[in-house]
């Protein structure tokens, strides 16, 4: 059975300035890959099996490697005490869903997330979506799919099929949340649930 319930931890991405523009985000992304992120990525086990959902015989082995990589990523980041995400998959490991959150001024902002494993995975990275933020930021495609920098896809392509779900979360969702959520809070687009209650 490949039903997975995992906690993922982020060690470096949740401390970016909320004033970063998208261009600065792209520049910072490059710097991260060249510096601190290398250390983070080096600690995440690379995957060996080149198999996607259509590869019925090898896909179970790929899922085992995904789980191993994710668990190791969790263990490596527990010391940082940066619990920011809960995620689980369906039985076949083809659809993932859960919650991510961002803490600012002692307030926890939670968001539902979801993504499907592409049929061309692992050569194609999953498109992670936060549906509740659909239409609230330019850094997002229709349906709430987060818009990654132009540097993410080439990085994924160079490392496929060795990169997996843990890498997509660390290099994709993590930096996006760290940059976009503070900005949305600052502009009043994202409001904490307790503040909504006070206004009602």
**What's the pLDDT score for residue 85?**
85
SS3 128: coil
pLDDT tens digits, residue range 90-135?
Answer: 999 999 999 999 999 999 999 999 999 999 999 999 999 999 999 9
**What's the pLDDT score for residue 197?**
62
C-alpha span between 71 and 117 (Å, rounded) = 19
Residues 6+ apart with CB under 8 A from 50: 58, 62, 122, 123, 161
199: pLDDT confidence band, cut at 50, 70 and 90? Answer: low
185: pLDDT strictly greater than 70: yes
Residues 6+ apart with CB under 8 A from 198: none
Task: Report the interhelical angle of 174-186 vs 22-34 (nearest 10°).
Answer: 150
14: pLDDT strictly greater than 70: no
Give how far the C-alpha of residue 53 lies from the chain's centroid of Cα atoms, to the nearest Å: 20
Joined tokens for residue 143: 């349906």
Cβ burial 134-162 (10 Å sphere, 16+ → b, else e):
eeebebbeeebbbebbeebeebbeebbbb
C-alpha span between 53 and 42 (Å, rounded) = 26
**Sign of the CA dihedral with 54 first, then 55, 60, and 64 last:** negative
Q: Cβ–Cβ contacts within 10 Å for residue 38, how many? A: 11
44: pLDDT strictly greater than 50: yes
Overall average pLDDT of the 1-10 stretch: 37
Q: What is the mean pLDDT of the chain?
A: 82
Kindly list the distances between the CA atom of residue 143 and the CA atoms of 22, 48, 86, 138, in Å, as whole numbers in the listed order: 20, 32, 20, 12
140: nearest Cα among 113, 166, 121, 119? 113
List, by residue number, the catalytic residues. 147
17: pLDDT strictly greater than 50: no
pTM for this entry:
0.80
**What's the pLDDT score for residue 104?**
95
């Amino acid at each position: 059975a490949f039903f997975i319930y995992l906690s993922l931890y982020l060690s470096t991405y949740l401390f970016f300035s909320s004033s970063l523009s998208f261009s600065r985000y792209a520049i910072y992304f490059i710097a991260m890959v060249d510096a601190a992120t290398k250390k983070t990525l080096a600690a995440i086990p690379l995957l060996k099996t080149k198999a996607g959902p259509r590869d019925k015989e090898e896909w179970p082995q790929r899922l085992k490697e995904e789980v191993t990589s994710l668990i190791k990523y969790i263990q490596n980041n527990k010391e940082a005490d940066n619990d920011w995400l809960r995620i689980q998959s369906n039985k076949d490991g083809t659809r993932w869903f859960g919650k991510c959150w961002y803490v600012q001024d002692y307030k926890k902002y939670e968001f539902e997330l979801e993504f499907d494993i592409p049929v061309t995975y692992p050569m194609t990275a999953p498109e992670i979506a936060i549906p509740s933020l659909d239409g609230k930021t330019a850094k997002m495609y229709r349906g709430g799919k987060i818009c990654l920098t132009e540097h993410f896809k080439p990085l994924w392509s160079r490392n496929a099929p060795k990169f997996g779900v843990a890498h997509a979360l660390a290099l994709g969702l993590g930096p996006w949340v760290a940059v976009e959520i503070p900005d949305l809070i600052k502009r009043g687009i994202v409001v904490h649930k307790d503040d909504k209650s006070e206004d009602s």
